[in-house]
Amino acid sequence: MNIQTSLQTFLTATDETPLLSVSGLNVSFSTPQGRVDAVRDLSLEIAPGEILALVGESGSGKSVTARAIVGLAGARAAVCANTLSLTAHNGQSLNLLELSEKDWREVRGREIGFILQDALVSLDPLRTIGREIAEPILTHRLSSRRLVSQQVVELLRRVGVPDPEVRAGQYAHELSGGLRQRALIASALAAQPRLLVADEPTTALDVSVQKRVLAIFRELAAAGHGILLITHDLSVAAQLADRVAVMQKGRLVEIGPARNVLSDPQHDYTRRLLAAVPSAANRGQRLSEPGMPLPSRQAVRSDQRLLEIREISMSFWRADGSRLQAVKKVSLHIDRGETLGIVGESGSGKTTLGKLALALQYPDAGEVLFEGRPWSTLPERVRRPLRAGIQTISQDPLSSFNPRFTVERIIDQPLKLYTELDRAGRLEKIVKLMELVGLSQDLLTRRPTALSGGQRQRVSIARALAAEPKLLICDEPVSALDVTTQAQVLDLLVELQTRLGLSMIFISHDLGVVQHVSRRIVVMKDGAVVEAGTVEQVFERPQHAYTRELIASVPKFRDI
């Protein structure tokens, strides 16, 4: 029996027994600084066939709640509850607080599936994707070995992985972030768990793939599976969830039907979360301070082209020996003082184009000009001292930082490289940069792992600004941040652009974010530019069918 048939024949429970029942859940951690209460007196239920979205900013306790439910809170965690139970496939009620590690091996994957946000960390680097997905099927003896390969390919195809037969034989490091996340989702679905706990499952996905994955979640719910969706994307919660629960500082502050919570929130914290979502309605306003205008941006200097890309193409060899055309004859420009948004699904060539603009990769054809002079064709020894003019802000600053360096040393690196300041002068500059990005100098002695996601991204911005660049290339700089932190970082980028006269290339799969920060937008598909224009032109009068499809795929919580 294949996966699709098994889902269709899955019998929804006819009684009213909750699939998951949580009452009075408390989770605390012992730290050198003392006890930290991460979750306090939380109660919720999920019925068979129900999708419950758990939302809130970083540190609110969402992920800790998820880990407590699947028995992975950690050795330093103290977990207690009045009730923490799950109704299994056989109808038996399992007390999740009393399970041994051996019991958990039988429960995880089969009764509870768990999707983590960071696929690269979650997937085994020494196993192929196919073996990773096959493991829960074989562990729970759900199929014969001769049929597993076919089921793995089918699962990959269902979550939108192209060339699933080829991808099944690849390793995690050979896949893009979006493909890795889809493979992780396929692995979680492999054993058809009754309850699926999904922690930010669509963060790394573009809107078209996200739409496909959300459809799979709806299909699972229709077949009787329960889903706990943890997300900072309120639009996703609105489109998918039956109910929404809002957490703040470890407590549940509001819970109810999605339509009620998101269209008529009762708690002030919920209202602040909704106001921080970028949209056409709040363009030009601060997301972190609703109703407050952003500073007026400097006039764009169209008479001074800062960066120009001319008929650029780039291809790569695939593992099977074929050639992938990643970028196809792309031409675009960025004027002084403007933000150009680049959008498109995974594999559209966005990130490759950004690397070509940075001259981190060399084109097969075409050229890049910076300030009217050759850039991509320069020898690296000539280009190296000029690199200060173009800096980048990545999606995952943690992976771009040396984990042994303090914040001070991270920001000091470009100052050593591009300035002639002495030690005292560099320290003074570092303190000013920290103030500029809204960080306390008390953080200078910390290492990256001791910072929150928002703090790390601000350090990444400070490091980029240390070189006093004219152009920032921002590749998915806020996609991993919760809605309130995202709002603060977006406001910061716009303010810095106004204050410093920066130009920015903003690469993102989040159309709402790009609409909020950009003056012009370029839409890419399969390595080519299919549409370009001002924000108003592209969003209000899209000309290309693919652009219309992208815009239609964006979840809109204001339409519920």
Comparing CA positions, the residue from 58, 513, 475, 478 lying closest to residue 277 is 513
Helix (H) / strand (E) containing 347: none
Secondary structure (3-state) at 403: coil
* Higher local confidence (pLDDT), 480 or 405: 405
Taking the alpha carbons of 540, 542, 546, 547 in that order, is the dihedral positive or negative? negative
Condensed to tens digits (0 to 9), the pLDDT of residues 169-189 reads: 999 888 876 788 889 989 999
Q: Taking residues 460-478, what's their average pLDDT?
A: 94
**Token pair belonging to 9:** 């024949």
SS3 (DSSP) at 488: helix
If one compares 138 and 209, the residue with the highest pLDDT of the two is: 138
For the chain, give the mean pLDDT: 89
Instruction: Say if residues 23 and 31 touch (Cβ distance below 8 Å).
Output: no
| Residue 532: partners with Cβ closer than 8 Å, 6 or more residues away | 332, 520, 521, 522, 523, 538
Residues near 315 by Cβ (< 8 Å), separated by ≥ 6?
323, 324, 325, 326, 364
Q: Single out the residue of 502, 462, 460 nearest to residue 478, CA to CA.
A: 460
**Nearest Cα to 439, choosing from 449, 427, 452?**
452
Least confident range of 226-230, 235-239, 459-463: 235-239
Phi-psi bin for 62: left (phi > 0), alpha (psi -120 to 50), beta?
alpha
- pTM of the entire predicted model: 0.83
Q: Looking at the predicted structure, is the pLDDT value of residue 43 above 80?
A: yes
Do the bridges between strand 93-95 and strand 520-525 make them parallel or antiparallel, or are there none, so unpaired? unpaired
Structure tokens at 145: 């070995």
Q: How far apart, in whole angstroms, are the C-alpha atoms of residue 500 and residue 79?
A: 49
138 band by pLDDT with thresholds 50, 70 and 90: very high
In the chain, what are the domains? 3-275 (3.40.50.300), 306-555 (3.40.50.300)
